A and B are shown apart, each in its own frame.
Chain A
């Protein structure tokens, strides 16, 4: 660390020019490399940041284990999302210029529950998985929980679907493979059931990565008396055994059911269950009756490959005992049938018009 006296009076800090940010929207990563550099932009697993080429020693990127982040060192750039009880903002670290997503949930919580939630969120920092959004730190202050998350510049699968309507099978299998690896991590390494898997909780980025997010948030939401989700939205992706069973009547297989519905929606462009009439669901009991009592939805065999139909059928078994685990599914033919095609998700996301980082 330099002494104060050694700083020359002629030395000045230079802020990157605005044009550096404009070129941000044009970059594409090379499929083979973990790091992409274009001009002053440096992208790697630690985040997207701006580095001046004149800089001799750029501050090293912050890693989750560093526990260095504090809210005081963060500049807000803009709101990038609202959902699940909170607002999400794109923020930038003042010293390293790294980008993060800051999720703030307004919620007065008692001390013991707060500690439990902080512990739940901290689990994510102890070890990383490339298929799960990183949680760098979380804070509780004046009734607001702030969670600093890895920034995913492609938005969510929900955003992608609003652009493309349907996703071809080859890309779906590549997406699904990453989600399954994320679920394997959550279920086997962390023993966590996500409980709220849906398209808006699967985030994507320009590198073609798909990551699971918001699995800590469901614990937060369940420990308050409030209800932030829309009524119908709460139950759309919920498994039958969770709907009808008791508190302990479901396990990791519930997430597999949700995954099946997500894939079916991505493939067909519609949520698999549709209201009997055009007016929409009369109430939640109409929806849950369909989920619990009617046959499971399936992929039409005249529109999709036998492998995809088989995968969907496996995920949407009503009886969780008949439903395969994430570990079983990773070896399903649907997951591997497109491997020789060298599917380029990065190019697909880019060409679909997904919003890359824009400032």
Chain B
């Protein structure tokens, strides 16, 4: 699967070797030996590998031609900055970022993560039976990781089953921080990039300017429902259809639950939708634990100001026996992201190089 090949131009830089994986050339540090390809996402190819120095298995993600698309470059930079600070058992660890050979002209970035067996999306769509304890434990870990993130003022903003990595022993870790941002930082206005539609909170779909941690809670609710039902709860075909599906399940909203919508036209659109009583979650998930239904209902409230918080969710009776507040300290300090989305390639490149130096301080003296 992974084939050792000669370096391009037959010039072999010190400390690197070359492998072809799914017709993609990997230029990686010699301490890593690829095993096999394990995935291909929107941004690059991922392969499992072994770190010969530690005998540890890792996942190496190659993001090729990263500066071809400034949005992709910014996503990667954001992930690099955030993951360097995050230390939590329910958040994927970024173990290494390989130093490129040429500082001023590198085009590819290689990120090294801890290796997980699969993701929640694969599990949900598989025939693997999931007991109430499975559902509970997955949800607990997701909420615990999210509590840590929110305590550091980080919004993930793209939670979905595919971004939740899982091991055979049911350990769960949140990954993909390309759309994450810090919450409530004045003047840090971020253009809304492409966000996965089925898990978007109503306040995002309705173009509300002020949103907070509650958008992640909505996504968790959608994921929780998907674990229970083994299929997406709101599979909208586009954003307006997404809103219609949400209303068709939750029912038409009372005026008092629409006050959070600061855009008058968006509010009028919601009111113009046909009246419906909705469907109770116990009808959708008749086999589910009644406590799970209660928690789900509190997570999927249309009005974000009334939606349950992560901490309240951890304290919910459904989580009894799992959540111990003494074992979940908050992040040490709030993390700030000084990223300007208007940066051009030279600045992004420089910032990336500086992030890499945190993993390779020995390279700081090199004039590459």
- Check if A and B associate: yes
Can you give 30 A-B contacts (C-beta < 8 A)? A106-B40, A142-B40, A143-B39, A143-B40, A143-B41, A144-B40, A222-B238, A225-B160, A225-B196, A226-B196, A226-B197, A227-B194, A227-B195, A228-B194, A231-B192, A234-B238, A235-B240, A243-B240, A246-B244, A247-B237, A283-B207, A283-B265, A283-B266, A285-B206, A285-B207, A285-B265, A285-B266, A286-B265, A289-B269, A292-B272
**Are B244 and A227 in contact, CB atoms less than 8 angstroms apart?**
no
In the complex, what distance in Å separates the CA atom of A144 from the CA atom of B241? Answer: 26
Number of B residues whose C-beta is below 8 Å from A?
Answer: 34
Instruction: For the complex, give the distance between the alpha carbons of A247 and B245 in Å.
Output: 9
Contact with B along A279-320 (1 / 0, CB 8 A): 000111110110010000000000000000000000000000
In the complex, whether A164 has a CB less than 8 A from a CB of chain B is no
- B240 neighbours in A (Cβ, 8 Å): 235, 243, 284, 288
B198 touches A225 (CB 8 A): yes
Give residues of chain A (234-264) contacting chain B, Cβ–Cβ below 8 Å. 234-235, 243-244, 246-247
Q: How distant is the Cα of A243 from the Cα of B238 in the complex, in angstroms? A: 10
Report B-chain residues with C-beta under 8 Å of the C-beta of A234: 238-239
Question: For A110, what are the chain B residues with a Cβ–Cβ distance below 8 Å?
Answer: 125
Residues of A at under 8 Å CB distance from B? 106, 108, 110, 142-144, 222, 225-228, 231, 234-235, 243-244, 246-247, 282-286, 288-289, 292
Contact present for B244 and A284 (CB under 8 Å): no
Measured CA separation A264–B351 after assembly (Å): 48
Which residue of B has the minimal Cβ distance to A287? B265
**A-B contacts besides A108-B41, A142-B40, A283-B263, 6 pairs, CB < 8 Å:** A106-B42, A144-B40, A231-B192, A235-B238, A246-B248, A285-B206
B241 touches A225 (CB 8 A): no
A227 and B197 contact, CB distance less than 8 A: yes
CB closest residue in chain A, given B248: A246
Which of chain B's residues have a CB closer than 8 A to the CB of A284? 207, 239-240
Q: Tell me if B330 is interfacial: C-beta within 8 Å of chain A.
A: no
Residues in A whose Cβ lies below 8 Å from that of B263: 282-283, 285
CB of B218 within 8 Å of the partner chain: no
Number of A-B contacts (CB under 8 A): 69
B residues in contact with A222, CB < 8 Å: 237-238
Tell me, yes or no, whether B232 is within 8 Å of chain A by CB.
yes
| B274, CB-defined interface residue at 8 Å | yes
Residues of B within 8 A of A231 (CB): 192, 239
Which chain B residues lie closer than 8 Å to A244 at the CB level?
272-273
Residues of chain A lying within 8 A (CB to CB) of residue B239: 227, 231, 234, 284
Q: Give bound CA distance, A289 to B207, whole Å.
A: 14
Distance in angstroms from A248 CB to nearest chain B CB is: 11
B-side contacts of A289, CB under 8 Å:
265, 268-269
Q: How far is the CB of A75 from chain B (nearest CB, A)?
A: 15
A94 to chain B, nearest CB (A): 18
Smallest CB separation, A31 vs chain B (Å):
42
B22 in complex: contacting residue of A142, A226, A285, CB < 8 Å: A142
For the complex, what is the distance from the CA of A301 to the CA of B40, rounded to whole Å?
55
Interface centre among A247, A285, A289, A292 (most CB of B within 10 A): A285
- Give, as a whole number of angstroms, the nearest-CB distance from B281 to chain A: 21
What residue in chain A is nearest B273 (Cβ atoms)? A244
Q: Mark B252-279, 1 if CB is under 8 A from A, else 0.
A: 0000000000010110110011100000
- Give the chain A neighbours of B197 by CB distance below 8 A: 225-227
Q: Specify which chain B residues have a CB less than 8 angstroms from the CB of A143 in the assembled complex.
A: 39-41
Asked if A225 and B199 sit within 8 Å, CB to CB, the answer is yes
Among A110, A228, A244, the most chain B Cβ lie within 10 Å of the Cβ of: A244
| Closest chain B CB from A194 CB (angstroms) | 14
Please measure, in the bound complex, the distance between the C-alpha atom of A283 and the C-alpha atom of B125, giving whole angstroms: 35
Complex Cα–Cα for A284 and B197 (A):
15
Report the bound CA distance from A228 to B195 in whole Å.
9
Which of B40, B240, B244, B248 counts the most A-chain CB atoms under 10 A from its CB?
B240
